[in-house]
Structure 1
Amino acid sequence: MASLNVYSVLVVLFLTCVVAMATKENDQIIKENNCETKMGLPCVLEAFTSIFETGSISNNCCGELVGLGKVCHSALVKRTLENPLFKHLSPATIIAKSIHTWNNCLALIDSLSPSAYGYMVA
């Protein structure tokens, strides 16, 4: 019975370390890439609403999201999920909505790129 308690403590300790490392990793990615300065507040709110609530993101804000970059986008979503205010949300659902929003914005921006009109920008 004592070995079960020790095992339980070790599992909890391991999971706590993994969460702490993930938090540090996301914070480091966000800091190193200046992620928090790459989007305007109105577009941040639109992206947040489309991922964490029910809403859509405009074409203009899709451009800002894609400009933010996938690394920053993923790190910011993961860091938000680590916030206790959002513990009631399903991480799997949020990650799926995050990927869906990213893919839709990327497809939109690709469809609007100059090469889509038959010419290349030098």
Structure 2
Amino acid sequence: MASLNVYSVLVVLFLTCGATMATKENDQIIKENNCETKMGMPCVLEAFKSIFETGSISNKCCCELVGLGKFCHSALVKRTLENPLFKHLSPAKIIAKSIQTWNNCLALIDSPSLSA
């Protein structure tokens, strides 16, 4: 139980202390990789809802999300969290949902039933 508390403190410290550096780093990653142009708007909205609200993401949008790439996905989520409109959200919970969405989509894309 104590290790969970230590881990939580480290995550909070990382998120708060590295915010300025993360902003520039995320913007640079997004710009250099053309992240904002790799998904269609309907899939962007689906992915957003599955991470920042409640909702699911379709197979088609999972394909687009995985095609976006892990670096772009992470950078876009982190940049969204930096927006004052989302300051009421828990960064740790959003990042966990982001990872879960990514892993679910990756597993779906790798599934033999989807490629058949």
TM-score by length of 2: 0.82
Aligned to 1:110: 110
Deviation for aligned residue 1:20: 1.6
SS at match of 2:57: coil
Per-residue CA deviations over 1:44-91 (Å, capped at 9, x if unaligned) read: 000000000000000000000000000000000000000000000000
Aligned to 1:64: 64
| Equivalent pairs, count | 100
AA at the equivalent of 2:39: M
SS at match of 2:111: helix
Q: What is the alpha-carbon distance in structure 1 between the residues aligned to residue 53 and residue 40 of structure 2?
A: 19
Within 5 Å, which residues of 2 pair with 1:13-24? 15=17, 18-24=18-24
SS at match of 1:64: helix
Q: What is the alpha-carbon distance in structure 1 between the residues aligned to residue 28 and residue 35 of structure 2?
A: 10
Q: What is the alpha-carbon distance in structure 1 between the residues aligned to residue 70 and residue 20 of structure 2?
A: 22
Within 5 Å, which residues of 2 pair with 1:1-122? 15=17, 18-112=18-112, 114=115
**CA radius of gyration, larger in:** 1
Aligned to 2:12: none
Tell me which of the two structures has the higher relative contact order, counting C-alpha pairs closer than 8 angstroms and 6 or more residues apart: 2
AA at the equivalent of 1:83: N
Deviation for aligned residue 1:110: 0.4
- Aligned Cα RMSD in Å? 1.5
Q: Kindly, what percent of the aligned residue pairs are identical?
A: 84
TM-score by length of 1: 0.78
AA at the equivalent of 1:82: E
